[in-house]
Amino acid sequence: MGLDIYAGTLTRYYAGNWKNIVQQWAEENGYTFQKITPDGTAVENDEELNPAEVQEIVENWRDQILAAIAQPGQEPYTPWTEDNEKTYYTDKPDWDALGAMLLVAACHTYEEEVPTTVEKDWDFMEQQTIARLAEDQERVWSLFKGVTWWLPLEDAFFFQGPLPNEDTAMIGTVGGLRKELERLNELAWQADEETILSWSETEGYPVDGTIGSNGEYSKADIEEHTQYDTESLAKFAFSMFWQAMLFAEKNRVPILLDF
C-alpha cells in the first residue's frame, strides 16, 4: 500500500476531486491508472459523492473540532475555508522514505550514527532508535506519535479525534509540523529553502528501469533494489513534507497522509 501526502481542502479530498502524482503522470503520458491492493486485487473507484453534501459534512466536522479544541479564556480558532475548487498539493513519498526521514530525525536527536541504508519495505516503527523517540515523553514529535492529519492552525499540539468519515486518527497542526521540520533540518542538514525544495527532484528512490526510444518500459539488466540510501530517501520525503507545509500555510488548508 502506497503513501501519498495531500494538502488541500477536505471537500476536494472526500469528493474525490483530486489525483495523486501517479494518476497525474499516467494521464499526461497516455497510460491508464488502477489502484491495486497488496494482494493484487484492483481497487474499484469510490462512488461519486455530491460535493455540496460533502462540503456541508466537512464544515460541520470542522466547526465541531475547532470548538472542542478551543482553549478556555482564548479566542476561538478561525475556521478555514472549505470548497471543491481551491487548488491542492500532492506528492508520493511512500513508506520507505517516510521511515528514512524518521530514522534521520531519531538518530540525530540521540546523537547516534545514521545507518547508511534501509531495507526495502522495512518496518521502520520497529527500528530501535525510532521506537525510542516514539516513546520519549520529553521529546515529543507528532511525526512519531502516529499523526496523519495536520489542521491549518499556528499553535502546536496534537490529539486523537474523529474524522469526517467517522474514522479516528491522530490529528496535529501545521504550526506544529513546521516546528518539527525546522528542528529536523537544524539537526541534520542546515539546508536553505531552495535546496530543500530541490530534493524532491534530486533525491529519492533509485530508478528500477528505463524507458527506451520506443517508449516501452524495461527492467532488463537492472538489479532489483532491495536497499535504499537513507539520507537520500530522508531528504526526498522531507522536501515533500516541507512543500506541503508551505502550501498549507499559504492557502490555509489541512495536510493529510493518504494510504
Q: How many CA atoms lie within 13 A of 83 on its CB side?
A: 6
Residue 53 is placed in which grid cell? 453534501
Residue 102 is placed in which grid cell? 524518521
Give the whole-angstrom CA distance, residue 217 versus residue 207.
Answer: 11
- For residue 49, what pLDDT band results from cuts at 50, 70 and 90? confident
For 49-77, give one letter per residue: b (16+ CB within 10 A) or e.
Answer: eebeebbebbbebbeebbeebeeeeeeeb
**pLDDT digit string (tens) for 162-191?**
999 989 999 999 999 999 999 999 999 999
Predicted TM-score (pTM) of the model is: 0.86
Contact 102, 93 (CB under 8 A): no
For residue 20, pLDDT beyond 90: no
DSSP state of 86: S
SS3 of 3-26: CEEEECCHHHHHHCCCCCHHHHHH
Give, in order, the Cα–Cα distances in Å from 66 to each of 63, 151, 157, 243, 258.
5, 10, 13, 25, 22
Give the whole-angstrom CA distance, residue 94 versus residue 28.
Answer: 21
Give, in order, the Cα–Cα distances in Å from 138 to each of 128, 132, 134, 135, 141.
17, 11, 10, 9, 10
**pLDDT digit string (tens) for 85-140?**
999 999 999 999 999 999 999 999 999 999 999 999 999 999 999 999 999 999 99
For residue 218, pLDDT beyond 60: no
How many other C-beta atoms are found inside a 10 Å radius of the C-beta of residue 136?
14
Give the whole-angstrom CA distance, residue 207 versus residue 218.
Answer: 11
Q: Among 203, 227, 241, 4, which residue's Cα sits nearest to residue 102?
A: 241
Q: Among 231, 181, 183, 224, which residue's Cα sits nearest to residue 203?
A: 231
Give the whole-angstrom CA distance, residue 157 versus residue 34.
Answer: 37
Contact 237, 104 (CB under 8 A): no
Which one is predicted more confidently, 23 or 200? Answer: 200
Which one is predicted more confidently, 255 or 206? Answer: 255
Where are the strands (E) in the chain, listed by range? 4-7, 89-91, 117-119, 147-151, 159-162, 168-173, 210-211, 217-218, 227-229, 255-258
- pLDDT at residue 223, rounded to an integer: 56
**pLDDT digit string (tens) for 61-85?**
999 999 999 988 888 899 999 999 9
